[in-house]
Amino acid sequence: MSPRTGDSPSPLRYLLVPLLLLVAAIMLASRQGAESRLSAAPGTRPAAADDATGGDAAPAAGGRLAPQGGTADGPAAVAYDLLGPGECFDIDRAEPGTVVRRGCDRPHDAQLVTVLRLAGDHRTDEDIRDAAAALCREPLHRKAARQPSGTRWTTFVQYPYRSSYLRGSDTVACSLTAYNRPGAAARPLAAPLL
C-alpha cells in the first residue's frame, strides 16, 4: 500500500513552521517597540507660561536645550506624564511633551508640583490649554506663595493635544520654574521647592 499524500510529513512543513514563528516574533517585537515609542512621547505640548506671582506673561525658564538620549553626557528624555510630584526636571524644548529628569539638589529648570486629570468635553487644543491652566492655577499659586520672599515664579503647565485627549490621555502636569527676565541669562533652580 502506498501512503496518501496528506499522510506523510512534508519536509517543507519542517521549514515553514519555524519560519512562521520567526516572522510572528519579529512582528510582535516591532509592535511593542512602536507602542513604547508612542507612549514615551505622546502628542503633548507645554502650556503658555504665566507669572505665578502677578499674572504677567513670562517666558519659561532658560533657553538651553536639554540633552537628548541616554548617553554618558546625560539621561534620556521621558514623557512628562511619567514624572511624580516633587520631581525636578529640565524642559526638553526639542521634543514637546518630554522632560529630562534632574536631581533637585542640582541645577534644573522646573519642579513638578502636582499631577491632575483633565475632564470634560474640549473641542480644540486651545480649550484643553485653557482648562489645563485653570486646573493648575490654584495649586501653583499656593506653592509659589510658600517660597522665599522676593522670589518670582513662572508656571509651566503640560497637557495633551486634543487628539491624544480623545484617545484617553488626560494627564496635566503643573510645575514651577524660576522667573527669568527677557534678555537675562537663564538662572536654573538649584534646590527643591519648599
127 vs 141: CA distance, rounded Å: 21
Q: Structure pTM?
A: 0.62
- For 59, residues 6+ apart whose C-beta sits below 8 A from its C-beta are 49, 154, 180, 182
Identify the residue with better confidence: 108 or 47: 108
pLDDT digits (tens, 9 = 90+) for 49-86: 444 443 333 333 333 333 333 444 567 899 999 999 99
Identify the residue with better confidence: 94 or 102: 102
State phi, psi for 57 to the nearest 5 degrees.
-75, 135
CA distances from 119 to 62, 70, 90, 130, 166 (A): 31, 34, 27, 12, 11
Give me the chain's average pLDDT, please: 74
* Confidence class for position 117, pLDDT limits 50, 70, 90: very high
Mean pLDDT (whole number) for 147-174: 92
Identify the residue with better confidence: 126 or 52: 126
Residue 12 has pLDDT above 50, yes or no: yes
* Confidence class for position 42, pLDDT limits 50, 70, 90: very low
- For 171, residues 6+ apart whose C-beta sits below 8 A from its C-beta are 80, 81, 115, 116, 117, 118, 159, 160
Q: What is the pLDDT of residue 27?
A: 59
- Asked whether 193 and 52 are in contact (CB, 8 A), the reply is no
* Confidence class for position 148, pLDDT limits 50, 70, 90: confident
Beta bridge pairs of residue 160: 44
76 vs 70: CA distance, rounded Å: 4
Residue 88 has pLDDT above 80, yes or no: yes
